[in-house]
Amino acid sequence: MTEVQATLVLAGAIMMGLGALGAAIGIGVLGGRFLEGAARQPELIPVLRGQFFLMMGLTDAVPMIAVGVAFYIIFALAG
């Protein structure tokens, strides 16, 4: 394995790790804000729940795309 290939594998691994870390932090903050809003105004829970799941899905889609790009980098470019 050459130095360039090793660097590409490392870049792909960092991309997957930081993507997962960012999504975990984002979903944690989002869940905390959802609970704060639900505690303040319980009558808005159905509206907040829908918005929460929509934003959680969008937040979780970003690392899935990053994993796809990272696998491309690792297996297609570095391989």
Instruction: Give me the catalytic one of 59, 60, 67, 69.
Output: 60
Residue among 11, 1, 15, 29 at smallest CA distance from 62:
15
Q: Rounded to 5 degrees, what are φ and ψ at 25?
A: -65, -45
Conformational region of residue 22, where left means phi above 0, alpha means psi within -120 to 50, and beta covers everything else: alpha
52 is catalytic: no
Structure tokens at 28: 């944690």
Q: Which residues are known to be catalytic?
A: 60
